[in-house]
Amino acid sequence: MWLGLDIGTGGTRALLVDERGKIRAGHTAPHEDMRMERPLWAEQRPQDWWDAAVKAIRGVLAGAKISGREVRGVGLSGQMHGLVILDKDDQVIRPSLIWCDQRSQAQVEYINRTVGGAKVLNYTANPVLTGFTLPKLLWVRDNEPENYARVRKMLLPKDYVRFKLTGEYATEVSDASGTALFDVVHREWSSQMIEALALDASILPKCHESAEETGAISSSIAGLTGLAPGTPVVGGGGDQAASAVGNGIVELGVISCTLGTSGVVFAHMDQVTYDPLGRVHTFCHAVPGKWHVMGVTQSAGLSLRWFREQFGAMEAWYAGRTAEDPYDLIIREAEKIPPGSDGLIFLPYLMGERTPHLDAHARGMWFGLTAAHTRGHMIRSILEGVAFSLRDSLEIFKELQIPVAQIRASGGGSRSAAWRRIQADIYGKQLVTLQESEGSAFGAALLAGVGGKIYSSVEESARQAIHLRDQVAPQPANSRIYDRVYQVYQGLYPAVREFAHRLAELDTETVE
C-alpha cells in the first residue's frame, strides 16, 4: 500500500493506493481559511498544514482499516511557491506567504534590476513573478528585517510537512522550479541567482528527483500519525507535477487542464523549451530527466467560490437542508443560458494574473452587462471566462509548437459536466476524464510506488494505474460562437490595463 499526501490550499488530502493502482481509501482534513488582511495578500499557518496532515493520515488509515505497517512508502504533493521560514530551533518564524500572495512587486522589480530580466530567464528558464518564493523572501527582508535575521532554513509547503515527518530539510526538482532560485535546465539550485542577490545558500534544502527517497518516518512521529517508523518518504512533486503524474501526463501530445482554486494547463516535454516572453512556466517534471510547461490562471475555481460566498446564500441555505452541493445548484442556473452568455464576458483576475499577462495588478471585471442579463448569465460568464483564461495558455503552446492531441480534465471543476462541456467547446479539443480523478494525491502515491520499485518508471505507473472514463467532443456550432467571443475577451485586459494599475496605486495610498 502506498500513501499520497497532498497539502492543498483548502485542505490536506491523504490517499491510499494499492499495488494495482486502485484507490483503497481517502481522507481530507480542512485547513483554516487563508488570511487576506490587505488586497493581494494571502497567508496560511504552516502548523495548520501539519495538524491537517496528521488528521488526514490517521483518517485514511482508519478508513481503510489497515495498520500503518502496511504502508510501504509515502509521496508528498502540495501547493507551490509558498514561503516557510524556520529559525535556528526549527520554529516557524511567521505565517507563510502562499502561492496567490501578490504583495512583492517591488521585490520583483529589484531582482530584475539587480540580476537583469534576461539573465533571470537564462538562469531559471522563467521570469521572476510575485507569486514565486524568492520575491516573498525578499519582501520579508525588506519589510520584516527582524524576522529575516532569524532565517536559518527556507522550505516549501509540502516540504515543511516532510520536515515534520522525517526531520529532513529536503525538496524535489518540480517544486524547486517555482522558487525563482532554481536552474531548471540543469536541475539544481542556481548559483548565479544566489550570488547575484547575495543570499545564503545554506538556507536552501537539499534537492532530489521526485521518486527518490528523501527520508523516513521518524520514531517520534510514528505514534502521532499511525505510520510505522522507518517508512520511506520520496520527493513527490509540486501539486501540478504530481497531478500530471496522476493524470498520465508523462508523454508528448497529452496535456491536462486542472480546475482547482487556480487553473493550470500542463504539457510534458522531453526537451527544455521556454517562452521567450515568459508567459508560461517551464519547470522540471516529476518524471526524472524530463520537463513540463504550464500556464496558470490565478482565480479559476476561486472565481466561482467567490461568487458562491458573496451571492450564494440561498444555495448554501438550501444545500444545508437537502445535502445537495451548493456549486451544483449554482451551475444549474448557468445551464439555462446559451453559449456566449448573450454577450456578457467575465475576466477572472481576482488575484492578479499570470498567463499571459504576468500582472499582479490585473483586476477582474464583467464587460457587456445590460438590463437583459440575469444572475444566470453572470454565473455562466464566470465558467466561460475561466475557460477563456486557460485557452490563453493553449494558444501559447501552439506558438511554441507543443502538440495537443488530447486534454485530460482534473480538479474540482472537472466534476461539473456543464463546465466540462464549456471547456471542450472553448478549447475546440476533446476533453477526457479519468476513472480516478484524485490528481495530486494519486500522483504522489504513484511516485512513492516508483521509489519503492513496484513500478519500473513513472511512465509505467501511468500505463498500469490510469484509465479513461469518458470524453466530451467539442460541438462545432458552439465552438464558432466561442471563437468570436474569445477575440473580444483577448482584447479586454490590454484595453483596461492602465486603469487597473491606477486602481492598484489608489489601494496602496489608502493602506499607507
Provide the sign of the torsion angle of the four alpha carbons 103, 498, 368, 353, taken in this order. Answer: negative
Q: What is the dihedral of CA 440, 443, 447, 450, to 10 degrees?
A: 180
DSSP codes of every residue in 123-135: HHSS---TTSHHH
| Residue type at 310 in one-letter notation | Q
CA distances from 435 to 235, 267, 452 (A): 26, 20, 24
* Whether the Cβ atoms of residue 66 and residue 140 lie closer than 8 Å to each other: no
CB 198 within 8 A of CB 130: no
Q: At what angle do helices 46-64 and 157-166 cross, to 10 degrees?
A: 70
Q: What angle do CA 334, 417, 56 make, to 5 degrees?
A: 110
Residues 121, 276: Cα–Cα separation, whole Å: 8
Annotated catalytic residue: which of 48, 101, 239, 425?
Answer: 239
Q: Give 18-52 as a DSSP string.
A: -TTS-EEEEEEEEPPPPB--STT--EE-HHHHHHH
Q: 229-261 in b/e burial notation, b at 16+ Cβ within 10 A?
A: eebbbbbbbbbbbbbbbbbbbbeeebbbbbbbb
* Run of H or E including 274: none
328 is catalytic: no
Q: Is 405 exposed, middle or buried (0-12, 13-18, 19+ CB in 10 A)?
A: exposed
Residue 489 parent element (H or E): helix 476-511
Residue 215 phi, psi dihedral angles, 5° rounding: 160, -175
**For residue 82, which of 150, 138, 136 has the smallest C-alpha distance?**
136
Q: How many Cβ atoms are within 10 Å of 312's Cβ, its own excluded?
A: 21
- Catalytic residue numbers read 239
